[in-house]
Amino acid sequence: MTSGRKKNRLADETSPYLLQHADNPVDWHPWGEQAFELAQTSNKPILLSVGYSACHWCHVMAHESFEDNETAALMNKLFVNIKVDREERPDVDRIYQTAHQLITHRPGGWPLTMFIDPDDQRPFFGGTYFPDEPRHGMPSFRELLTRVALFYEEKRDDVKSQGQQIADIFGRLDPVTGHGISIDDGPLKAAREKIAENFDREYGGIGTAPKFPHPSTLDRLLRHWRATAHSSEPDVEALFMTSLTLARMAEGGIYDHLGGGFCRYSVDQQWQIPHFEKMLYDNGPLLALYAEASLATGEPLFTRTANETADWILADMLAPGGGFYSTRDADSEGEEGLFYVWTPDAVEALVSVEEWKVFAPYFGLDAAANFEGKWHLSVRRTAESIANATNRTEDDVMALIDSARATLLKERAQRIAPERDEKQLTAWNALAIRGLAITGNAFDRTDCIDAAERSALFIRDNLMIDGRLFASYKDGAARFPAYLDDHAFLLDSVIELLQARWNSELMTFAIEIADLTLEHFFDADEGGFYFTADDHENLMHRPKSLADDATPSGNGVAVFALQRLGFLLGNTRYLDAAEKTLRNAWQAIEEYPHGHVTLITALEDYVHHPESIIIRGPSEEISRWRNSAAKLYAPQRMVFAIPEDADSLPGALADRKPDGQQTIAYRCRGSTCSFPVTSWEALAAELSEASE
C-alpha cells in the first residue's frame, strides 16, 4: 500500500476489506446506483471484484494488480470498477458466483472477477484470481482487461445475447412446487448413503483435497445415528463417520492447538496444513457439533475441543458491545501462516526439558518440516504411545503438553497477529450464539450462556431499526438490510438460547423475527424463502437458495426453526409455511439429498415431530430438572425451564402453568401432549424411556 496517495471512494466505507483498497490507484466504487449510472453514461462495462478481508488470494491479486499503477490506469481507462465485500453483500456475491459457474463451467471462489453490462447488471465474462503475468495457462490480468474491453466495444449484441441467456437460466433455477407431492422420510436415508459414497475412511471428511469441515453434513450423520441408535439395526457407521472426522480434525493442523478454534479448510487430505484464515461462521457450527458429539459419545477429545473453541471465540472474537467479530486473516507481516508456525529450536528454548521430551514427538517437531521449511502443529503420535516410550502415564504426558502449550501461546501473543475483520454480522453472530448456548448448556458454562445472551440482545438493540433487521454492524452503525440467513439463523439461535436460559424478552424477539421472515421473504404462492426481502434493492435475480454451502441453507434453517417455534407456541401459520417450503424444495431434496442436509434435518422434524418439554416452577428447581435433560444427546428434543413468575407468555406456553409451588413438566411430541409430571424422578424415567 502506498502512503500519501489520494484515497478513492472506498475511504468512506466501514468494511475492513473495502478499506484495505481505499489507497489503491484503482478508482474503486462501492456497489450502488452511482457506479452503474457512471458506466452507462461513459459507455464502459463494469469490472466487479468480490472478496473479503481474510482471503489470501484476494491479497495476492491486490498486491500484484490493484496496487500497480500501470494496471490501475488500464482499469480506470476501460472500466468502471466496483469492489464488494462478500460478507456484507452476500446477495451480490451469490448471484455472480452462480453466473461465474454458468459462464466458465467451473466452481467459483474469491477473489471473484466479473465483467458486467451496466444496462442490466448481467455478466458477460468472469473468473476468479488472475495473475499479473501469464502463467499456469492464464493470461495476465492486464492482457485480459484489454481483450474484455475490446469484446464489449465490438460485440455488444453478443454481450446482450449472452446476458439474456444467463437471465433465462437463472429463471429456471428457481424451484417450482410440484402437484401431488407425497412427503416422506426417504431422503434421510438417501442423504446418508450419498455422504458415505464420498467419505474418506482413513482421514475422515468428504473427498480428498482441499478438504472442508462441512459441519452441517456431520451434524446430519450424527442425527441419523441417534435416530437409529435404539433400533434393531443401529447405524454405527454413521457414528463412525462423524467421530472419525471430528477426531482427525481436532488432531490435525486445521485446528489451532494453542489458541483453540478451526481454520477454514485444509489444503491436504490429512487435515495437516490449513488455509490459515479463521472464520466465525465455521467455528460457531463446529462448536455446537463438538459439544453435541461429546454428549453423544462421551469422548474427552470432543469435550476438550468444544471448550477450547468456545474459549477462543470469547477471548479473540468478542466485541466490547457484545457482538462477535467476523474473521482472522490468513496472513501476517505479508506471509500466510507466519503467526502460527514454529521451529524446533525456538520451541525447545521456551519449554522445559521434560515438556520437550513429550511435546516434540506429540506435535511432530522431531520429524520433517511440514510448512515451507517450518513446523505447523498437528498431532503426530498418541499420548498413549509417548507414555509407553517415556515411562509416564497418559495423564502426565497430557499435563506436560498442556503446560508447554500455555507457554507457547503466551509467546505467540507477542507476535504480530493476523488482521481481524471487526464488522459484526447478524447471521454469523447467530451461528456463534447457537454454538455457545449448546456448549454452555452441555458443560454448565455460564460464561458461554452469558456471552450468547449478550450477543442476542446486542443484535436486538443495535441491528433492529424501525422494526427491521440489519445485516452488519461496524463503527457504531448498522448497515445493509438483513438477508434470509440473518433472520433464519437468528431465529434458530434464540430458540436454542432459550433452552439454556429462559428470557421472555428474547422469546418476544424470536416471534418478531419469525413474523418478519414470513412477511418479507416467504413466497406465499409457491413456498420457499427468497434470499432477499420483498423491498430489497432490485438486482438481476432474486434467488431462493436451497442448498447448503459454507453455511447452512437459509431455507433449511428457516423451516427447522419455524417448525419448532410453531409446535412450541401452537402457531399453525409457522407450520404451514414450513411445510409449503419443503414441498417447494422437494425435487431438489430428492435429486441431490447430500447437498440439502439442512433441509433434510428440517424434513426429519416434519415427518417425526420434535419433542418439547416445558418445565415450570421455582428457578433453582427447574434448573435441576432441565440439567437432567440437557446432558443427553437428543437432537429432536427441546427443553425449556421457565420460571414460575414469567409472565406474558405467548401462545400455548401461556397454558403451561405451575401448580402453586409445585414444579411441573409438560411433555409434547409435535402438537400432542401427555399428562404433566410432578416429580423429577418421573421426568427422568420418561426421558430414559424415550431414549431407549
Interval 209-238: pLDDT, tens: 999 999 999 999 999 999 999 888 999 999
Question: What pLDDT score does 685 carry?
Answer: 81
One-letter identity of residue 29? H
Assigned C-alpha cell, 445: 458454562
CA dist 325 and 495 (Å) reads 22
Least confident stretch, 245-259, 391-405, 623-637? 623-637
Which pTM does this prediction carry? 0.96
- Strands 424-425 and 331-332 turn out to be unpaired
The residues of the chain that CATH labels 1.10.10 are 340-414
What is the chain's mean pLDDT, rounded? 95
The residues of the chain that CATH labels 3.40.30.10 are 9-173
545: exposed, middle or buried (C-beta count within 10 Å: 0-12, 13-18, 19+)?
buried
CB-CB contact of 53 with 419 (8 Å): yes
Indicate whether 66 pLDDT > 80: yes
340-414: what fold?
A: Arc Repressor Mutant, subunit A (1.10.10)
Residue with cell 455446537: 288
Predicted confidence band at 101 (pLDDT cuts at 50, 70, 90)? very high
Indicate whether 46 pLDDT > 90: yes
Q: Over the stretch 234-250, which tens digit does the pLDDT of each residue have?
A: 999 999 999 999 999 99
CA dist 60 and 129 (Å) reads 9
Q: Over the stretch 450-460, which tens digit does the pLDDT of each residue have?
A: 999 999 999 99
CA dist 52 and 21 (Å) reads 11
Mean pLDDT of 523-541: 96
CA dist 162 and 158 (Å) reads 6
Write the class of the CATH domain 189-333+421-607: mainly alpha
Least confident stretch, 21-25, 35-39, 469-473, 654-658? 654-658
Predicted confidence band at 689 (pLDDT cuts at 50, 70, 90)? low
Indicate whether 661 pLDDT > 60: yes
Predicted confidence band at 5 (pLDDT cuts at 50, 70, 90)? low
Q: What is the number of residues in the chain?
A: 692
Q: List Cβ neighbours of 361 (8 Å cut-off, separation of 6 or more).
A: 380, 381, 386, 389
Mean pLDDT of 478-488: 98
Predicted confidence band at 2 (pLDDT cuts at 50, 70, 90)? very low
Say what percent of the chain tops pLDDT 70: 98
Say what percent of the chain tops pLDDT 90: 87
Torsions phi, psi for 198 (to 5 deg): -105, 15
Residue with cell 475483520: 421
Q: What is the CATH number of domain 9-173?
A: 3.40.30.10
CB atoms within 10 A of CB 403: 16
Q: Over the stretch 154-178, which tens digit does the pLDDT of each residue have?
A: 999 999 999 999 999 998 888 887 7
Indicate whether 374 pLDDT > 70: yes
DSSP letter string over 107-156? Answer: ---SSEEEEEETTTTEEEEEES---SS-BTTB--HHHHHHHHHHHHHH-H
Question: What pLDDT score does 676 carry?
Answer: 87
CA dist 17 and 19 (Å) reads 5
Assigned C-alpha cell, 153: 466495444
Assigned C-alpha cell, 184: 416422506
Question: What pLDDT score does 690 carry?
Answer: 59
The residues of the chain that CATH labels 1.50.10.10 are 189-333+421-607
Question: What pLDDT score does 419 carry?
Answer: 96
**What sign for the dihedral angle of Cα 371, 376, 378, 382?**
positive
Question: What pLDDT score does 1 carry?
Answer: 43
CB atoms within 10 A of CB 330: 26
Assigned C-alpha cell, 149: 474491453
Q: Which helix (H) or strand (E) holds 324?
A: none
CA dist 322 and 604 (Å) reads 34
611-690: what fold?
A: Glutaredoxin (3.40.30)
Question: What pLDDT score does 346 carry?
Answer: 98
Residue with cell 439454556: 500
Q: Over the stretch 624-652, which tens digit does the pLDDT of each residue have?
A: 888 887 788 999 999 999 999 898 899 88
In 463-504, beta strands by DSSP E = 464-465, 468-474, 477-481
